[in-house]
Amino acid sequence: ACDCNGRSQECYFDPELYRSTGHGGHCRGCADNTDGPHCERCRDSFYRRGSDQGCQPCSCNPVGSLSTQCDSYGQCSCKPGVMGDKCDRCQPGFHSLSEAGCRPCSCNPSGSTGECNVETGRCACKDNVEGFHCERCKPGFFHLDSSNPRGCTPCFCFGHSSVCTSAVGYSIYSITSNFQFGEDEWRAEQRDGSEVLLQWSAETRDISVISDTYFPMYFIAPGKFLGNQVLSYGQNLTFSFRVDRRDTRLSAEDLVLEGAGLRVSVPLIAQGNSYPSESAQTYTFRLHEATDYPWRPALTAFEFQKLLHNLTSIKIRGTYSERSAGHLDDVTITSARPGPGVPVAWVESCSCPVGYEGQFCERCTSGHRRETPSLGPYSPCVPCACNGHSETCDPETGVCNCRDNTAGSHCEKCSDGYYGDATAGTAADCRPCPCPGSSSCAIVPRTKEVVCTSCQAGTTGKRCELCDDAYFGDPLGENGAVRPCRLCQCNDNIDPNAVGNCDRQTGECLKCIHNTAGFYCDRCKDGFFGNPLAPDPADKCRACDCDPEGSRSLQCQENGRCECKEGFVGTRCDQCEENYFYNRSWPGCQECPACYRLVKDKVAEQRERLRELENLIANLGAGEETVTDQAFEERLKQAEREVMELLHEAQKSKDVDQGLMDRLKDINSTLANQLNRLRNIQGTVRETENLAEQARVRVEDTEDLISLASDMLEKAKVAADNVSIAPPEQSGDPNNMTLLAEEARKLAERHKKEADEIVRVAKAANDTSMEAYQLLLKTLAGENQTAIDIDELNQKYNQARNISRDLEKQANKVLAEAEEAGNRALQIYANLTSLPTVDSTGLENEANKIKKEAEELDQLIARKLKDYEDLREDMKGKELEVKNLLEKGKTEQQTADQLLARADAAKALAEEAARKGNGTLQEANTILSNLKDFDKRVNDNKTAAEEALKKIPAITQTIAEANNKTRQAELALGNAAADAREAKARADDAEKIASSVQKSAAATKAEADKTFADVTGLAREVDDMMKQLQDAEKELKRKQADAEQDMMMAGMASQAAQEAEDNARKAKNSVNSLLTVINDLLDQLGQLETVDLNKLNEIEGTLNSAKDQMKDSDLDQKVSFLEREAKKQDDAIQAYNRDIEEILKDISNLEDIRKTLPSGCFNTPSIEKP
């Protein structure tokens, strides 16, 4: 009976099974995917998890598994690099599932994350890395480093270049502090910056700080850790730290870096560091901006390197709780320096653009300067602006090394002693000045006349041919021998603020003051006397004041005494001499008539009596006779006292009146001086008015020039706008186009700035001129007011003079009355002395009368003194008004001077604006012509780019055809591999049949095994060939995705692909022919029923023939040839891939040019030549 475990009802007798087991029933047609003599096991490619479960298909992936059979858990046996229950996917780190399994990812460990695309094998790169295998840095980065989380370090180069490589000749260098001998210049401070005590332990060889509060304290690094530490970028800062208490309160600012105006901080436990504890721990912080190292705030790579380039502070928090201590030791920053040692690759060497030099592009080359010197090495370098008079300048300040007799920071002006327009840009811009001593000069814009501007002291004129005001001589000898200009010698008797004080040819003083005269103002003028050379003006010449009636002339002697006519005496010749009298009806003094002799005799007689009285009085005390009338003596003494007081008061009144007259004379002199000064001021105001009118005319000319320049620039703008500059798509010369566009952009920006500067200067000149004009109007109005004030002052002066004359008359009257009173007193005294007897009653009456008259005289004098005081107060007010007018005149003169200065400044500004306008117009015309030529060049390059772009579709189509042919070759080889596998299966069946027919066919079976081994080897060779072709196909796909081909290279690729297709077709035919022979052989083996040695020999011969045919087919050589052709194809692909990259770069450059072109010509305010 059939024993089929209930899975089949049919069986047949199997003798072999019977001999081996004693039961010959072999089941047939087993159900439930079972197999075996008793349906006791699962069919091939099936499995069963348990004995009570049915057989499930293994479903092993035929490409990824070694066989279709799986184990009892359904796990297929996978090829190398393959994973999964069904062997249907690649393991991590493997890719490209194929007949040979999965290939390992060939990623660069320094630049990749360790994974790759399971389909293409392209590696997953770090942020700054590129390439199929992540084998190179992206543009703008260098130093592929496995420890760098972003793979490569960005180029710093102070922001001037993005092309750099690793510098050679640098070795590792560590900056350390191990505190073996002290604090090593470390400090400690609180968060607010106040310094605290830092302690050094000789026992533990570390430093520490102790806190009594919750506020943290910081360790402050010394200078050797600061400064330029950019070579430490991407390296580590390490230190050893411990606390004495675990009660720590961390913060975001446990480690702080400061520099270049930037500040970053990080917690102590960041970057995988541990919490601080009582035992010392090493803390490591990477100086890098990556998010893996959470420095806050987040900086860019350039900003982080900028901070390290000027590192000003490193702060390490030392305390983390109240009443705690922190201990710091072994601080190290890893850096680099040039010299021998362990070489490093993290130091950059920049490839600098034009205008820069140095390892880090930190310097400007010769002929270039810093655009913004305050930025230091971060400032862009621009060409020296020297107006064509120098090719070099100071690289930091931009000051040009001028030649061609030019000067200025930009050689924008001529040197002293030369004149011309230094901005024209030729060697002959500046010519020698036609001035004495090679002094400087300038050109008058309107007349183009050369005028000397720095004449020697005392000279003036367009050619310094004249002597300046207050100088005399003939500096150029135009009127005879050369006579240098010398200062006029006027003995300080001229007004230094006046003009025309002396003759410029002879030196004669023309405007002497202080009442002086003469060629050198060395004598007093007529009617004055004194010392004209006295240093004090008050001691110089004073008025003679000779009485015109009694003096022979108004000129007096050196002592002030006048020369009197006959009959006149006195200093002023205002008195009649003795025996002469003044007759109002007769001019002069007349000699007294003959009858006056009686009077003279009587006077002589009275004088004699007076002498006798004097003798009597003199002898009163010495004589023997005494007067006993005591009352008389007292009254006599009292009378004498009253007479003396009366004389004293009269003399005093005379002195006061004389002082008043002197005062009035001084006031008169001062008023005369002020009138002269006011007349000078009036002349200056008139000159200022003329200059202001000239300035106003120049301002109008400047405004006309600016308006005309604006119209011209507006036309230039319209012309520039009409220039059609289409966005270029491709260029054959990208570098030149880029430079031209950059130059156009810089010129446009510079001209915009210059145009704005010209408008500002012109506006300032216009404003200054208008302000000067307004001030001039105000000055003219002030001049009118000054004239009115002068008239009022004249009126007041006349009033004061009249009052003075009245006062003088009154004083003379008082003096006359006083003299009369004195004479009367003397007469009374004389009469008293001549009395032979003493009449006490008459004397008393006379004394009372004298006393009364004296009191009346005293009252009169008091009234006159009051009138005098009132007049003096009034004169003080007049004097103050005169002083105010004088000050006002000085102010008006200063205003006039300022107006002149501002008018000159407005003139200079207008001339400067015109000059800059001319230069800007020339540059605007140059830019316009360049832009027109630039448009033509852009159109030419655009045409070339369009022709190149038209070839791209054909190139792409050729590449697609080559890819299709390669795929066909791969499919052909893939079919060969499948045929080989089928041959292998049939060979297994043949082996089983031969074994079951007859054991004696062992030799034949061995030969069949050998044939099978050969076929298997052939299958492996075909698999290897397919693997290589698959690699070639993937490489080709990657190249196709990265670039485009040009026509010639595509043709070469197409030819190579055609040859590869032919070789693959030949290989396929050879393999098919060989497999046909093998299939025939296997068919024959399958039809064997009985052992026929002849047949076996025939089979052996057929197998040998198949082997020979396989050898004759040269399949190995064809595969090798196919590999060589694939390599050639790969080289060709790489070649035209490089060409395509160059084309793409050109296209990118054209796009950059389009973006950098200015949207318009910004040189709006146009300037035209006058």
Residue range 924-940: mean pLDDT, rounded: 53
pLDDT of residue 976: 39
Task: Classify the C-alpha dihedral 566-570-574-577 as positive or negative.
Answer: negative
pLDDT of residue 803: 62
Cis ω for the linkage preceding 445 (within 30 of 0): no
Q: Pick the most confident of 501-505, 709-713, 835-839, 1032-1036.
A: 501-505
What is the C-alpha to C-alpha distance for residues 816 and 822, in angstroms, rounded to an integer? 10
What is the C-alpha to C-alpha distance for residues 934 and 931, in angstroms, rounded to an integer? 5
Residue range 652-665: mean pLDDT, rounded: 59
pLDDT of residue 560: 86
The full set of domain ranges for the chain reads 1-49, 58-98, 105-154, 155-351, 941-1156
pLDDT of residue 1015: 44
What's the pLDDT tens digit per position in 210-246? 988 888 999 999 999 999 999 999 999 999 999 988 7
pLDDT of residue 1048: 47
Q: Which range among 472-476, 796-800, 815-819, 847-851 shows the weakest confidence by mean pLDDT? A: 815-819
Q: Which range among 289-293, 338-342, 907-911 shows the weakest confidence by mean pLDDT? A: 907-911
Residue range 295-322: mean pLDDT, rounded: 94
pLDDT of residue 553: 86
Please, which pLDDT band fits residue 579 given cuts at 50, 70 and 90? confident
833: which 2 tokens?
A: 């002395």
What is the C-alpha to C-alpha distance for residues 716 and 731, in angstroms, rounded to an integer? 28
pLDDT of residue 640: 72
pLDDT of residue 972: 41
Helix 596-620 / helix 734-834 crossing angle, nearest 10 deg: 80
What kind of fold does domain 105-154 have according to CATH? Tie2 ligand-binding domain fold (2.170.300)
Is this structure's pTM higher than 0.75?
A: no
What's the pLDDT tens digit per position in 55-103? 999 999 999 999 999 998 899 999 999 999 999 999 988 999 988 899 9
Burial of 809 (0-12, 13-18, 19+ CB in 10 A): exposed
pLDDT of residue 214: 81
Single-letter code of the amino acid located at 31: A
Residue range 515-538: mean pLDDT, rounded: 90
Look at residue 862 and tell me whether its pLDDT is greater than 50. Answer: yes
- Of residues 465 and 874, the one with the higher pLDDT is 465
Percent of the chain with pLDDT over 90: 31
What's the pLDDT tens digit per position in 623-653? 555 555 566 667 667 767 776 776 676 566 5
14: which 2 tokens?
A: 């199997």
Please, which pLDDT band fits residue 952 given cuts at 50, 70 and 90? low
Residue range 373-380: mean pLDDT, rounded: 93
Residue range 329-337: mean pLDDT, rounded: 96
Please, which pLDDT band fits residue 730 given cuts at 50, 70 and 90? very low
The overall average pLDDT reported for the chain is 75
Please, which pLDDT band fits residue 552 given cuts at 50, 70 and 90? confident
Q: Which range among 429-438, 725-734, 840-849 shows the weakest confidence by mean pLDDT? A: 725-734
What are 370's strand-pairing partners? 381
pLDDT of residue 493: 92
Single-letter code of the amino acid located at 1089: E
Q: For 1-49, give the CATH class.
A: mainly beta
Length of the chain: 1170
| Residue 732 CB partners (closer than 8 Å, separation 6+) | 941, 944, 1146
Please determine whether the domains at 1-49 and 58-98 fall in the same fold group of CATH.
Answer: yes
Please, which pLDDT band fits residue 739 given cuts at 50, 70 and 90? very low
CATH number of 155-351: 2.60.120.260
pLDDT of residue 299: 94
Please, which pLDDT band fits residue 131 given cuts at 50, 70 and 90? very high
Please, which pLDDT band fits residue 1053 given cuts at 50, 70 and 90? very low
Query: What are the CA-CA distances from residue 515 to residues 529, 531, 648 (Å)?
Result: 9, 11, 36
Please, which pLDDT band fits residue 596 given cuts at 50, 70 and 90? confident
Residue range 887-903: mean pLDDT, rounded: 54
- Of residues 562 and 666, the one with the higher pLDDT is 562
What's the pLDDT tens digit per position in 777-832? 565 555 455 556 556 656 655 665 666 566 556 556 655 555 555 455 444 444 44
What is the C-alpha to C-alpha distance for residues 229 and 224, in angstroms, rounded to an integer? 10
Architecture label for domain 58-98: Ribbon (2.10)
Look at residue 476 and tell me whether its pLDDT is greater than 60. Answer: yes
What is the C-alpha to C-alpha distance for residues 63 and 958, in angstroms, rounded to an integer? 32
Q: Dihedral of the CA atoms 767, 770, 775, 780 (nearest 10)?
A: 170
DSSP states of 269-336: T-TTPPPP-SS-EEEEEE---STTS--BS---HHHHHHHHHTEEEEEEE---STTEEEEEEEEEEEEE
Please, which pLDDT band fits residue 915 given cuts at 50, 70 and 90? low
